Chains A and B, each alone.
Chain A
Amino acid sequence: MHGLLPCGDAVAAAVEPPHSLARVVDSLAHLLPAQGPISIFIHHNTLHAYEDLPFETAVETAAAELGREPYLSEARYRDKLASGRIRARDVAELIDEQLGVRAAEQVAGVPRGDLWRAIALHGVPSASGRELAWVLAETDALTRFRADVPASARSAFADLRDSSDPEGERGECRNVRRLWRACIAAAGRALPSPPPAAPQPVRHHDWLQIVRGIDIDAWIHPPLIRFLAGYLDQGIAHWAMPDRALGLHRCFLEIYGAPLASQCGAWARTLPSIAAEDRAAQRRPLESLAHSLHVLGVSEGETAAYLAAEILALRGWAGIVRQIEERPDRVPARSVDATLGDYLAVRLLLGRAALEYAVRQTGTGSTPADLRIRLCREFSPASPPTVEERAWPLFHLAQLCGIEAALVDRWTVGDIAALETELSEMDHIRRRRLLHQAFERTIRHRLYDALIQHAPRPAATTPAFQAVFCLDEREESFRRHLEEADSACETFSTAGFFGVAMYHQGVVDAHPRPLCPAAIRPEHYVAEIEPGADRLVRRTRHLHRRATGFLGYNVHIGSRLPVRGALLMATLGWLALVPLILRVVFPWLTSRWVRARDTTIVPSTRLQLDRDERQPPAGAYTGFTVAEQAAIVRRLLEDVGLNGRLSPLVLVVGHGSISLNNPHESAHDCGACGGGRGGPNARAFAQMANDLRVRTRLASQGVIVDDDTWFVGAQRNTCNNEVTFFDEDLVPLSRQADFARAKSAVDAARRNEAHERCRRFDVPRWYPPLAALAHVEGRAADLAQPRPEYGHATNAFCVIGRRTRTRGLFLDRRAFLVSYDPELDADGAILTRIIAATGPVVAGINLEYYFSYVDPSGYGAGTKLPHNVTALLGVMDGAQSDLRTGLPWQMVEIHEPVRLAIVIEAPCHRVRDAISQTPAIERLVRHRWLWIAALDPESGSLWELRTHGFVQHNAQHALPRIEGVSAVWYEGKHGFVPPAAISGAKRAI
């Protein structure tokens, strides 16, 4: 292949061998977001790749590497301090813990602990250059003392008196100016500070931007994004990109190797020749990459850094390419072949064309290779800080610590150096870290206090019915309201796929879809069938569906074609006003109408659960054997502690979420079902547990399920609070009364839970439950609603233990609840498997919310309003942008970014053993990506796991006790509501 080029051999000798380049490219993939196609949204830790580092180090490193925020802004934490969401006491405690013996050491006459406390609680505003000049000239920084000077420091400034007194005001002004002059003098006599580190960019782009202000990314990104979106497109474009079968790099060469490509922009003049040369040399992607690096003059040593910077320039798109490379099975429709190496090769080809143009434009050198060297010479480094810039923080420090000007005058050079060292150690990152830690501690301790003080409430000895939910924190409120509606019921929760890992294909589904946690690849395929239906009825329904689909598709396509579109618009266009007015102005009525129509044609179906020999369209087997079914049922009964105490009726309730105009719809679905809806799993579980063959086999294993007992599967739509029961017609006559009772309790819970959710939406203060239910139904059907529900927002806790511990405890939809009975698990085996199954899911959800909230436009997807669905894989901002990963602001806006606090009701040693047996969780716990505490089942004391072992927690806040139902406690409150013990006795709401 090198024979094609006259200089081919010479180039090849200098070019790196591709296999090492492949390693480099692979190692860079961790910088990319690991979010797959948006239609199956799986919550994961945004900084998964940094889990090997302690949390604080990880977020700060990532922030520096990726240009993101590690914590909230300092101002936000100060607001929280002011509003009491952070307690100053927690900040002080943390400083003492972190400083240890260093706290008492004197720094320029002040104990270091006091110094840090003052800086952390009050902050030192940063300002430099023109900003500082403005602050000094235009604000009252030099005429008044800071308004937030702590009381301890106040006494030092004798003239800090009543501001209404003009004489005092003038005196204060004099003092402030005197202090400022003293600080200026101090900064003047201090040792010279080292010059600020010069930027060391590696990309040509960065040098061009810093030195010449030319942004070549702005040239190459638009065509690159269009090309990538077109290549990866899953069905928006009607004319698919030709030659996609050749692979990303090759396809690019085919299309952009033509002379026409030079029209892409002024910079693209050499693009066709560069692409054609690559094609003529028949380079494979990595060879092309190596060649480009060589042409650009990137040495072997800086290859990794160079490519890392290139990859980060369009992080979202590079990320989706990587995801497709790694998990081609998750691509929604068309399989496409794309690798990160391909992407980089294409990117550098475009970059080369742009650089050649830039070189010509700027007259810097003759080739891109020596561009960087020339630009480096032109670069003028930043000057060291001025005296004012150095005096400014000292000035604030003096105010915060109550140091008078006379004392400042006496500072030695050593004192000043020591103070500057403290200031640089307590830089804005460190201050935010401290405040964040204190914030988390305050929030976490409220839960600990509540759990210690809440008296366990045993359930009725013979519950009227039992219900098993998903562990999702959105079910916390639903369970509470269900128990309030019918105090004789008992609820449980577990991972919402109920142990049934399967590919499920509904009657109306075109493709099977996996319903289980993302980490599992299901082996079993389960289809929904219509066994009883009359052939004619089935046929009619089928035709009806096909006709609707055909019509919809033709309108969709027709509206985009010229002639069909013209006919459609001119004749039927006005009709669009009807759905417009109905959907936009009367969404609730429309939702009622649509649902009424849908329920009239709902077919009676069953799940085909039994194993047969047919080849499944997905997975390895069709159906489950009886032994497999028995194992699934047994495991769940053991996990939640239901074994041996089943009531005559057991509801199994999965959940999903259906909303309109919401590209992130799948993020509201069940995390334990891998971003799918858990109804089919609940239904499958109920069908298995009702099966006599399964019960017989279970009995032989010592797990007794009474003949009396009946399981009913159901699905709750967490958005509109609709609960759909499956296979109602199979409920035996003897259980009908129980079932009716359960249904009416569920109905009451639907209303009351909607009412509780509504307090977070902007609805009038007084709102009856029935209107609340209508409100959430309207939201789900509303085209204009960017917040159909709040999903997992506000999640902060996870409690693994018996319901008796949390029954009647108002946890404000913030806690994942997992049923676990420590008394039935002497050896800790059940706890171990519960932690292994649920830990990663809940941690993933919690951390994704953390990052999307902390940096909404960096880690999150920014505001939803301009989102533009691209290639059916993700969303862009507006006309064109990087692919936006993470969660949109409207989903997280009410969140509090705290790491998950998991409380496990078990003895400390068992908790420790269970964690150490699960490496994935052990790593998270060791590096503090989540907090672990043990709630002793015997004594009820709570022990938090710290670095040196378990530390007992003592209650600091009394737990409010409320007579009545939950509404009494939350009604009229809009923000966060602290935990409270709810008696549950009914009173009028």
Chain B
Amino acid sequence: MIKVSNLSKRFLDQTVLDDISFDVSKGEIVVILGESGVGKSVLLKHLIGLITPDSGSVYIDNIDITKLSEKRLLKVRKNIGYLFQEGALYDFMNVFENLAFPLVEHTSLDNETIKNKISSILKMVDLEGIEKKYPSELSGGMKKRVGLARAIILDSKILFCDEPTSGLDPIRSRDISDLIRSIVKRLDCACVITSHDIKNSFRIADRLILIKNGKIAAIGSKESIESSDNKFVQEFIS
């Protein structure tokens, strides 16, 4: 479903991504781990075409999105949900309007259906009855949940989550991680998450990728990462 092939990116004299290759299948959760500033978010932005690589390709359903124009990318992105670190909700819209936005833009659903869909998706993220609240009235965890609801409201085939647990307490981190896992399994979509939250990443990931100095230091299942004899891997996960 997603295939990343020999992806490289430099910013001035700094190599951020160096020959990165991996793939993600339908229904699979891949977590990209690494220290802060290692380029995890940059990698995720490549996967949705927000950044163009210096070399390499990103295939989504066998289409190399690095070669697409912005107009064609906008069409591709209709099938992709993206959860930002802070939710990135429109602060001039209330929760209902934020969630209705993708539906109004990309579907021809009537008002009643939109209302029902929003109610059910808010129930799914355990935030019933907050339709009229504005983002400024929500806590960090609630903003992420609404952001997640907006990301999947079009029944996305792919979900990208950028640091979904950053800034949250351990209980909220666990909740949102479990929520992401249950949504991915329910929608049967491919999911890529960036994180430096080792504990929750190991709980929800099907596979993990560890990045160091722009390169993949380790890739594999939880068990293979845990049993890796790579010194950096052991140091990072311990």
A, B in one complex = no
Which A residues have a C-beta under 8 Å from some C-beta of B? none
